[in-house]
Chains A and B, each alone.
Chain A
Amino acid sequence: MSGPPDLTEAFERSGLIDVSYVVDDSPVGRLLLAATGEGLVCLHYVNHDQDLERSLEQLAARISPRVVRAPRRLDAPRRELEEFFGGQRRGFDIPLDYALVKPGFTRRVLEQTAQIPFGQTLTYKGVAGMAGNDRAFRAAGTALGSNPLPIVVPCHRVLHASGGLGGYTGGLDIKRKLLAIEGVLPEPLGD
């Protein structure tokens, strides 16, 4: 006796999905990738089921409740991420959707951050200045902390002026790992 048939393809064909998503394992933990018709809209660290639930609820509330697990629209970002982690890619070419980003200063901070090249870093103050207000380095930190598109918008490339790592949404271990992939920091020692 067979159970219900899988409808993923029918949903994708229907054109009715507003937010497609997929959950993937990666060298920096479990990732939620979600896309709208515009482009990649979020890339969240979801190591716990509650994180995943909260992220999906946020997408439903802020973009559209038509949120469906459908991997096809995520093919390109998945491939680029895989290449990035494999050391074969230094920048991302996929379109991004800033729908989850607060307009104004926050959005400018993230757009500037998206321009930082692979293997280079900026200070919070530097990024705040590029976004139009170099005294707003704390606000820049807050803006980066709310980044819905980490890795692709490389907020891990923003550090303290003192040389300290600063903060990171996914935890400092992940920030260290990403900086090590780019050769900014030495590979973390195994524990």
Chain B
Amino acid sequence: MDLPPFQTLLDRYSHDVHRFLVANVGHTDADDCYQETWIAALRAYPGLQNAANLRGWLLTIASRKAIDAHRVRGRQAMPMAEPPEPAEPSEAGFTPKEDAAELWAAVGALPAKQRAAVVLRYLLDAEYPTVAATMGISEAAARRNVHEGLKRLREEHGHEWPA
């Protein structure tokens, strides 16, 4: 099977990967994670067996790097001075509002799995099977993480987010 030139992945998905990381680990750590993600991807690329979901593959690597960054930082909440660059208004319902900064700060304070699931679902507009595959968990667990994350945002911060 022929893989596309690696540059194609960079041209297509660099913004998604960066947004995902900013939302997951904050601005300070995002650039390092971003570089580690792409170097790891370049290293592994020739051995990749299936080119059907390259974006998902990249986000899987990025979420591993994000988890590593969290381990280094311990359980402290990620600093979220600014909201991540908004995606195209997503079908999943999130549109950036004035209180976006505060909202993303709240997302940054969620436990790692809930944060990753919420970010994938609402910032990157991923369907549940993709959220599950990217995080290496079941679809049911992906739904649960998103559900728990949204519930917590609602209860602790009063954010109403379309489910």
Contacts and interface: CB of A to CB of B under 8 A. Distances in A.
Given A57-B2, A65-B6, A67-B7, A11 B42 contact: yes
Given A67-B7, A68-B42, A3 B2 contact: no
A60 B42 contact: no
B5 A59 contact: yes
B46 interface: yes
Nearest to A1: B85
B127 interface: no
A61 interface: yes
A66 B42 CA distance: 7
A5 interface: yes
A11 B14 CA distance: 14
Contacts of A16: 39, 42-43
Interface in B1-59: 2-8, 10, 14-15, 17-18, 31, 34-35, 38-39, 42-43, 45-46
A65 B15 contact: no
Contacts of B10: 7, 68-69
A3 B39 contact: no
A11 B6 CA distance: 11
Contacts of B68: none
Interface residues of B, number: 23
Nearest to B2: A61
A190 interface: no
Contacts of B34: 4-5, 7
A7 to B, nearest CB: 6
A10 B45 contact: no
A66 B8 CA distance: 10
Given A4-B15, A4-B34, A66-B45, A10 B2 contact: no
> In this complex, which of A4, A14, A61 has the most chain B Cβ atoms within 10 angstroms of its Cβ?
A4
A5 B42 CA distance: 16
9 contacts: A3-B15, A17-B42, A57-B2, A57-B4, A60-B5, A65-B4, A65-B45, A66-B46, A68-B10
Given A7-B34, A14-B39, 12 more contacts: A4-B14, A4-B15, A4-B17, A7-B10, A11-B42, A21-B7, A56-B5, A57-B5, A60-B2, A60-B4, A68-B6, A68-B42
Interface of B: 2-8, 10, 14-15, 17-18, 31, 34-35, 38-39, 42-43, 45-46, 82, 85
